[in-house]
Amino acid sequence: MFTKGDKILDKSLPKIGEKSLFTEELEQALGEGSLDFVVHSLKDLPTILPAGMALGALLKREDPRDAVVMSKKFKEKTLSTLPKGSVIGTSSLRRTAQLARNLPHLKVENIRGNLNTRLKKLDDEKSAYAAIVLAAAGLKRIGWKDRISQIMEPEEALYAVGQGALGVECRESDWETRSLLEPLYDMETTLKCVCERSFLKTLGGGCSAPVAVASSLEGEELKITGAVWSLDGQTLIKDTCKGKLFIPKDDGEPPRKCPYQEPRLYCGVVPGRMNALSLHGAEQLGKDLANNLIEKNAIDVMLEARNTIANSK
């Protein structure tokens, strides 16, 4: 199936519109009952799902970081050592803002299309691109790890909410499918991504504003860094929050559930076999981080970015 985001390739994503670009047609089929579940790249999935829909599982996350693919003529270079004025291709406002702030000697231009299309544009002998920036997860999953010239650490570039993770969406009331999906849950991925999605949901962000995160889980301590930029990267609002979660030892038995109470969703994620206290803690940590940024006027920065994009359509 092809979605709106797949079909419209001559415009940047924010100029098309920010909601459900890669999910709307799939979710419609899911709601009609012609599909039982849909596998999404989690970063494409809005933090608020349509009524009656839920994430039945989050699979083990691949590398969430960004990757640089250099053109052949610059294969020995890194972004920082590229000549002044070199053109970098990306369709992401988040990447554009961070590149503008951290590597102002580079020129960023929009590039759209699937992975094959973008790499073909880069490899063309007449290509103006010195490099393109992509999600490392996509390159690794398709078996093209050897095309990666540079991995961008979170200190260099924070990544998109949910990047590298796969989410399986189903009907919330479809208990048979939910029970089939339960064994696919990855605890660490779910806790990190619930926290990240809670952060974005509280901010009210989408692809029309540069917002990014990095999260880690060490033992029971979950840590998340989040940031908001102006479109030109000159304004940055950033903070970090961390907290201890209640993570019970895995004894092979799923946590007990109250038979009289329907478990709630956590940013669209069903608890499955996971402990609700852990999920609640992850969700709250994301909210706390977002509220810290909101106190520093993050909403104003995001509104300015959205208005600029809306006026340029």
CA 29, CA 35: separation in Å to the nearest integer? 6
* Marked catalytic residue, from 44, 66, 239, 288: 44
Q: Please, is 296 exposed, middle or buried when counting C-beta atoms within 10 Å of its C-beta (0-12, 13-18, 19+)?
A: middle
Per the annotation, the verdict on 44 as an active-site residue is yes
Taking Cα atoms as reference points, which of 146, 21, 24, 133 lies closest to residue 82? 133
CA 225, CA 238: separation in Å to the nearest integer? 7
CA 135, CA 197: separation in Å to the nearest integer? 18
Strand ranges (E), 120-279: 129-135, 150-152, 166-171, 211-218, 221-229, 236-244
Q: Please, is 79 exposed, middle or buried when counting C-beta atoms within 10 Å of its C-beta (0-12, 13-18, 19+)?
A: buried
CA 301, CA 294: separation in Å to the nearest integer? 10
Q: Which residue has the tokens 């003529």?
A: 73
Dihedral of alpha carbons 307, 309, 311, 313, sign? negative
Taking Cα atoms as reference points, which of 237, 241, 238, 236 lies closest to residue 215? 241
Just list the catalytic residues.
44
